[in-house]
Amino acid sequence: MAHISFDSSNLSTFIQPNELGEMQAMVNAADDQLRNGTGAGAEYTDWLHLPTDYDKDEFARIKKAAQKIQSDSKVLVVIGIGGSYLGARAAIDFLNNAFFQAQTDEDRKAPQILFAGNSISSSYVHDLVQLIGDRDFSVNVISKSGTTTEPSIAFRIFKEMLVKKYGADGAKSRIYATTDKERGALKTEANSEGYESFVIPDGVGGRFSVLTAVGLLPIAAAGADIDKLMEGARAAENEYVDTDLSKNEAYQYAAYRNILYRKGYETELLENYEPTMTMFAEWWKQLAGESEGKDQKGIYPSSANFSTDLHSLGQYIQEGRRTLMETVVKVQEPKHDVVIPSEDSNLDGLEYLQGKTMDYVNDKAYQAVVLAHVDGGVPVMTVNIPKQDEFSLGYLMYFFEVAIGVSGYLNGINPFNQPGVEAYKTNMFGLLGKPGFEEIGKELKSRQK
């Protein structure tokens, strides 16, 4: 029995009973492309078996490095962009106290995990340097090539800080490089300087890399049990192998979202009712958007955090254009619950709720929203997870990874490349005058006049 459950019962007014079965042949073909390597981008599908087929020696080194970071650092600066940071950030928020990053060093019982290299904002870096202050810190720089602009700039800045604080030799022992196994600028530097390094596997693209050292080292440094994380993903890997749509709920999700997409529901909102899942939605948005947005087609991934966004986006979702579908990730058992206290005056009109728990109210809000949105013409799917723990997170991440992989093939695209990402980089290099891009820069500057 699956650890998480997919609820499609609220699609009955949008999808006819026969439509799912009619997707079976397409799903079989997509599964063959994914699992037998017959589809486009097959060289980047090693993530499919990561939960069972991973480097056990490196995994042990990751845990040992995390322990060292915990022993000698109050802060770990994780430098990376896109898939090089989103998975770790999502997991750390998902698994920890809502104010984990704001807790004191003593209360947190693990290093503060701060992220850099995911923008080119000078103000952000300045403020981050101030936040670190005089505290001991280490750096985990994550880059396949070592030449990606945003993380490369950040690495220069924080490496200089380490050298000034600890000296050249001391800095080297506090830098952890997660990069290519054999080549690239960062790998060359790691070898020459003696940084401890970890591998981004060749067959795993960035947005699917959370269960490699890319995500595992920061997650472990934050105090999470990465053995349990992998165990959950391994259980999901074993669960989602049957192509039968009556049994495989990850494939059901992929099929239903494609049926809806063909009916004109072109935007998918991933929604939650827990603020600690905001960054999980950001991880999902890259996974879905970078995998499926190609050839002028694909479901546009967005997100909403309820009940907060019901007071901002709720009006549009309820009565705006009927191009939205919703997927809710619903936690069955909260980390903590709070009883609503009694008051004699009842000026706020909450007497009918006193003595009940906040999670009870949160759950009723979820039920009410589903009913209202379905009545308003918005299809709603729900992925139920038992709790916010490592096992559930590993399971949930694998659920979405395999579903998005199949979904991409159902839509006739390569889910594992990202050719469009290079367009802005080429323009930026030209405008900045990077060697080799001078002619592009001249042409772009002439267009700006």
Mean local confidence (pLDDT), 190-200: 96
CATH 3.40.50.10490 boundaries in the chain = 5-39+230-411, 47-224
The yes-or-no verdict on residue 198 having pLDDT over 70 is yes
- What is the predicted pLDDT for the residue at 448? 73
For the chain, give the number of residues.
Answer: 449
pLDDT over 90 at 440, yes or no: no
User: Which residues form the catalytic set?
Assistant: 290, 425
How much is the average pLDDT of 171-195?
Answer: 96
Task: Calculate mean pLDDT across residues 22-32.
Answer: 97
Which of the listed CATH numbers 3.40.718.10, 3.40.50.170, 2.60.40.10, 3.40.50.10490 matches domain 47-224? 3.40.50.10490
For position 419, what pLDDT does the model report?
Answer: 81
- pLDDT the model gives residue 439: 66
Q: CB–CB of 404/292 below 8 Å? A: yes
Residue 339 has pLDDT above 70, yes or no: yes
Choose which CATH entry (3.40.50.10490, 3.30.750.24, 3.40.50.1820, 3.40.50.1240) describes domain 5-39+230-411.
Answer: 3.40.50.10490
Residue 323 confidence class, pLDDT cut points 50, 70, 90 = very high
pLDDT band at 269 (very low <50, low <70, confident <90, very high): very high
| pLDDT of 31 higher than 90 | yes
